[in-house]
Amino acid sequence: MTRLALIAASLAVACLISACGRASDPTLTDDVIVIKFPHVVAPGTPKGQAATRFAELAEARFPGRVDVEVYPSAQLMNDDDSIEALAFGEIQMIAVSLSKFDRLTHAFQVFDLPFLFPDIAGVEQFQQSAAGEALLTTLADDGFLGLAFWHNGMKHFGAGTPLRRPADADGLNFRIMESDVLQAQIEALGGNPQKMAYGEIYQALQTGAIDAQENTWSNIYSSKFYEVQPYFTVTNHGYVGYLVAVNPTFWNALPSDIRAGLEEIVAEVTDWGNAQSVAINEDSRAKLEQSGRTNILELSAEELSAWRAAVQPVWEQFSDEIGPELIEATQNPAATNQRAGAN
Ligand code: LMR
């Protein structure tokens, strides 16, 4: 059991002993349920907009009973701290990149396999399949109940020098999220991966502590990485998406009408937010181009295949850890639905 799992389990027991909830849980006193919901990106990004909308709808539906405090742009804490804070019950809701649950589960590593999903529609199909939906509850025993997957978008590489061929990445220091698959991906390119919190990227690029990074257009634009990084390459090589999670002990202690209402709102916001995530990223890309401060390189099909080939060994490397069936399910989500229906 991981340290976090132990913390979550002991908190759950402590909570049960103290008849968790109304009297003992500060979030539930005075009949106002406070949901602290920190995240690390700007309010205009797909996640930023979805979090704000969740707060608006929850407060409109439960006036005076639910108070959602959204803290964008890592104002309250970074993602790693928020994972821990959720387990401790210090905050009530998170939407953290799937890559950052690496230390708790190998299952989400599937989302980091390079070039596994061709686009957001492919990710969506998998997440809505039986195999994908099952991932929502994979961390429930560890203290993280997944309510939804929210999309950001597909990732692209950015660097201080043009990245046209995999060899261009050789020897560069790349910032990555806290994921062993992403580490292996950069190593396969001959780069030096550095796991780093999102809020530190801008300064690390500015000071030259890192040379390169990978992210979505909406993150690159809203966090102004283009001010300190002149070259981007359109690769669509990976996915940034989030597990929207709550602490199950907290969630199950909510009055049932509120819990059911909030779950409905999460579902509604998920449909709304995911449907506009591609457009938000396209808009950010257009604004990057209009800024006149960036060079966005489009690759030929041949050049793109070279990147694909360079990182392909990562699939094999992580196949056993992730589970070959799960990888297979991403390629053929309809088949897992049929199997689930037959059981
Ligand atoms: C990153 O760290 O690059 C992303 O997880 C940030 C985010 O929340 O989109």
Beta carbons of 81 and 129 less than 8 angstroms apart: no
| Ligand 1 pocket, residues with Cβ under 6 angstroms | 40-41, 47, 97, 152, 177, 198, 215, 219, 240
| Nearest protein CA to atom 5 of ligand 1, as residue | 97
**What is the assigned CATH class of domain 3-342?**
alpha beta
Instruction: Give the pLDDT of residue 334.
Output: 77
Task: Write phi, then psi, for 132 (nearest 5 degrees).
Answer: -70, -45
Please report how many Cα atoms fall inside a 13 Å half-sphere around the Cα of residue 262, on the Cβ side: 26
Cα–ligand 1 centroid distance for 111 (angstroms):
14
Cα–ligand 1 centroid distance for 43 (angstroms):
13
C-alpha–C-alpha distance, residues 180 and 39, integer Å: 22
**Which residues, 6+ apart, have CB-to-CB distance to 35 below 8 Å?**
27, 58, 66, 67, 68, 69, 92, 93
Kindly list the domain boundaries of the chain, sorted by start residue.
3-342
| Nearest protein CA to atom 6 of ligand 1, as residue | 198
Instruction: Give the pLDDT of residue 223.
Output: 98
Question: Global pTM?
Answer: 0.91
Per-residue pLDDT of the chain (343 residues; tens, 9 = 90+): 454 554 444 444 344 333 343 334 545 555 799 999 999 999 999 999 999 999 999 999 999 999 999 999 999 999 999 999 999 999 999 999 999 999 999 999 999 999 999 999 999 999 999 999 999 999 999 999 999 999 999 999 999 999 999 999 999 999 999 999 999 999 999 999 999 999 999 999 999 999 999 999 999 999 999 999 999 999 999 999 999 999 999 999 999 999 999 999 999 999 999 999 999 999 999 999 999 999 999 999 999 999 999 999 999 999 999 999 999 999 988 776 666 555 4
Cα–ligand 1 centroid distance for 8 (angstroms):
24
C-alpha–C-alpha distance, residues 307 and 190, integer Å: 12
C-alpha–C-alpha distance, residues 47 and 277, integer Å: 9
